[in-house]
Amino acid sequence: DGGITQSPKYLFRKEGQNVTLSCEQNLNHDAMYWYRQDPGQGLRLIYYSQIVNDFQKGDIAEGYSVSREKKESFPLTVTSAQKNPTAFYLCASRPQVGNQPQHFGDGTRLSIL
Amino acid sequence: AQSVTQPDIHITVSEGASLELRCNYSYGATPYLFWYVQSPGQGLQLLLKYFSGDTLVQGIKGFEAEFKRSQSSFNLRKPSVHWSDAAEYFCAVVNTGNQFYFGTGTSLTVIT
């Protein structure tokens, strides 16, 4: 079945450490997105990519980095510059045309040790 | 600027009662609107979408939503709520630049 796979489900980060969250999709979607979800704040856009080798900052990109070397993959790195990384991270994808809805992965919960 | 407002942070209903979750949007052109549902620790699942045409759209799990341009609203409804409907619900709008704007969500509790 087609879908979006996020891994790991739970991730722990030590102070000063970079961690990478994986997002893979086999839906042949062009666009991919990363959101951060905190209680009571809904979804906030971190980065998005509409095509391979291109991506744009969202509303809260500081302290995060991404790459889009393959259509299927859009990993998110939470750097040590992100001082409050504890959150639930959601990856999404969608076709580029037709104003189609986003499809979401099951998320990664990141916590600080 | 585009935005979505969900005025109700939390709603409690009894099982079998009807449900209406409010969503107001701000968008200059014809909006493309969506409702998603999220269970704890899970991703978002699409309930329904509105692009154009009939203003009453049907979705999965017995949900429907009505688009009212004059009120800039896209409220979600269900005639009879089941205990399994307890979850977080998000309304969203997408702009011509393919950016999605989500509301802050409404948490639904169902009393059995």
pLDDT at position A73 over 90: yes
Q: How high is the mean pLDDT of chain A?
A: 93
Given a contact cutoff of 8 angstroms between Cβ atoms, the answer to whether A106 and A6 are in contact is yes
What's the pLDDT score for residue A2? 73
Average model confidence (pLDDT) across chain B: 93
pLDDT at A112 over 90: no
Give pLDDT, residue A1: 65
Task: Check residue B97 and give its pLDDT.
Answer: 72
The dihedral through the CA atoms of B102, A52, A104, A86 has a sign that is negative
| Residue A41: predicted pLDDT | 80
Tell me which chain B residues have a C-beta less than 8 angstroms from the C-beta of A46.
Answer: none
Calculate the CA dihedral of residues A87, A66, B38, A14 and round it to 10 degrees.
Answer: -20
Query: How far is residue A102's CA from residue A24's CA, in Å, rounded to a whole number?
Result: 14
Average pLDDT of the residues in A40-65: 93
Chain A window 36-75: which residues touch B at a Cβ cutoff of 8 Å? 40-43, 45, 48, 50
Q: With cut-offs at 50, 70 and 90, classify the pLDDT of residue A15.
A: confident
- A96 confidence band (pLDDT: 50, 70, 90): confident
Residues of chain B found within 8 Å of residue A4, distances taken between Cβ atoms: 43
Low-confidence ranges of chain B (pLDDT < 70): none
pLDDT of residue A23: 98
pLDDT at A88 over 90: yes
3-class DSSP state of B59 = coil
Q: Which pLDDT does position B13 carry in this prediction?
A: 98
Q: Which residues contact A65 (CB under 8 A, 6 or more apart)?
A: A76, A77, A79
Considering CB atoms only, which of B41, B44, B94 is closest to A99?
Answer: B94
pLDDT at A45 over 90: yes
Percent share of chain A, pLDDT over 70 = 99
**Pairwise CA distance, residues B61 & B2, whole Å:** 28
